[in-house]
C-alpha cells in the first residue's frame, strides 16, 4: 500500500514538471519587453550602432561648471547667469562713421580750384607792345609808337578779377615846328574789372578774359625847343580802357596777350581843334602767379 502511494506521488511530480516545461516553451515573444510585478510593460530600446557595427555610447553629461558657463545671460535682469553683465550690441547710430572722402587733384579730367597758394590767383606782369592813335591828324604828326606796363592782377582763377597797372608809351614827333629830337611821352595809371572764363587742367590755366576800367594819362612833349601856339607842352586826360585777351598759367608762370582800346577825354594837347588822343595797342606780358 505504501508502495502505491510513492508511485502515485512520483507520477504527479512528473506530470507537473512536464506541464511547467510546456508553458515555458509556448510563451509569446516580448521583443525585449519586461513584465513588472505590477503588470506594466517597459520597453528597452535596441542598442544604437554605427554603420560599421561599432556600438555608439551616449555622451556624458557636461560637468556642472561647463553647463553654468553655457547658460544664456538673462538680459532682462541686466546680469547673466555667470554674474557678468552682457555687452549690448552696438547700434547703427553709435557705429564709427568713416571720414569723408577728400577730393583728388585730377590733373587729367577735373577742374581743380585753388592750385596756387592764394587760391584765387594773384599775379604780377611786365610787358609791352605796339600802339597807334586813331586820329589821322595826330597820326600824321607822330611816328609809330610802343607802350610798356607793369600790371598787378587778382582773381586769375575766378570768374571776376581786378587789375591795377602803370602804363606808359613814347613816339617821335615830326612836322612843321617840332625839333628833330622831339618826342611825345605819356605815363599813367589805370584800374580795370575783369570777366574771366577759367579753364583749368590740374595746375595749368588757359583763360579768355575781357575787361573795362578807368584811368588817367599825362602826356608831355620832350626835346622840343620851338614854341608853338597851337601845341601845349603837356596835358592830362581821362582814359576809358577796355578790351580782351588770353591768359596762360602753369606752376607759377603767367603770361597773356591782349588788345586794348583807350577812349580819351579832355584832350587839349594839340589845341581845341587838334583832335583827341584815342589809341589802340596790342601786346603781351609775362610774370608769375602766386
pLDDT in tens, 79-94: 555 555 555 555 555 5
Please indicate, yes or no, if residue 116 is contained in any of the structural domains: no
| pLDDT bracket for residue 233 (50, 70, 90) | confident
| pLDDT bracket for residue 45 (50, 70, 90) | low
CA distance 79 to 86: 6
Instruction: Please give the model's pTM, rounded to 2 decimal places.
Output: 0.60
Residue 185 belongs to a domain with what CATH number?
Answer: 2.40.160
Find the domain containing 280 and state its range.
138-289
Please indicate, yes or no, if residue 178 is contained in any of the structural domains: yes
Please indicate, yes or no, if residue 34 is contained in any of the structural domains: no
Please indicate, yes or no, if residue 1 is contained in any of the structural domains: no
Please indicate, yes or no, if residue 251 is contained in any of the structural domains: yes
Please indicate, yes or no, if residue 212 is contained in any of the structural domains: yes
Please indicate, yes or no, if residue 183 is contained in any of the structural domains: yes
Instruction: Report how far apart, in Å, the C-alpha atoms of 151 and of each of 75, 123, 126, 146, 287 are.
Output: 77, 8, 6, 17, 9
Number of domains in the chain: 1
Tens of pLDDT along 58-80? 555 555 554 455 555 555 554 55
**pLDDT for res 85:** 59
Please indicate, yes or no, if residue 256 is contained in any of the structural domains: yes
Amino acid at each position: 500500500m505504501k508502495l502505491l502511494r510513492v508511485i502515485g506521488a512520483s507520477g504527479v511530480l512528473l506530470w507537473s514538471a512536464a506541464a511547467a516545461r510546456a508553458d515555458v516553451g509556448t510563451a509569446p515573444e516580448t521583443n525585449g519587453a519586461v513584465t513588472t510585478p505590477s503588470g506594466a510593460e517597459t520597453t528597452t530600446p535596441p542598442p544604437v550602432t554605427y554603420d560599421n557595427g561599432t556600438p555608439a555610447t551616449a555622451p556624458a553629461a557636461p560637468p556642472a561648471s561647463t553647463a553654468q558657463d553655457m547658460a544664456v545671460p538673462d538680459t532682462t535682469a541686466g546680469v547673466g547667469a555667470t554674474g557678468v553683465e552682457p555687452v549690448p550690441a552696438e547700434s547703427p547710430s553709435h557705429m564709427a562713421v568713416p571720414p569723408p572722402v577728400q577730393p583728388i587733384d585730377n590733373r587729367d579730367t577735373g577742374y581743380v580750384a585753388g592750385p596756387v597758394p592764394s587760391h584765387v590767383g594773384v599775379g604780377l606782369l611786365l610787358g609791352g607792345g605796339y600802339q597807334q592813335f586813331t586820329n589821322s591828324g595826330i597820326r600824321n604828326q607822330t611816328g609809330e609808337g610802343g607802350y610798356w606796363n607793369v600790371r598787378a592782377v587778382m582773381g586769375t582763377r575766378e570768374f571776376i578779377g581786378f587789375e591795377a597797372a602803370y602804363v606808359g608809351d613814347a613816339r617821335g614827333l615830326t612836322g612843321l615846328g617840332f625839333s628833330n629830337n622831339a618826342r611825345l611821352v605819356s605815363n599813367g595809371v589805370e584800374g580795370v574789372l575783369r570777366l574771366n572764363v577759367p579753364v583749368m587742367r590740374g595746375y595749368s590755366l588757359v583763360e579768355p578774359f575781357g575787361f573795362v576800367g578807368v584811368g588817367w594819362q599825362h602826356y608831355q612833349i620832350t626835346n622840343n625847343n620851338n614854341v608853338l601856339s597851337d601845341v601845349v607842352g603837356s596835358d592830362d586826360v581821362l582814359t576809358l580802357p577796355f578790351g580782351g585777351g588770353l591768359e596762360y598759367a602753369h606752376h607759377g608762370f603767367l603770361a597773356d596777350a591782349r588788345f586794348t582800346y583807350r577812349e580819351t577825354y579832355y584832350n587839349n594837347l594839340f589845341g581845341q581843334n587838334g583832335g583827341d588822343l584815342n589809341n589802340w595797342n596790342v601786346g603781351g606780358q609775362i610774370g608769375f602767379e602766386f
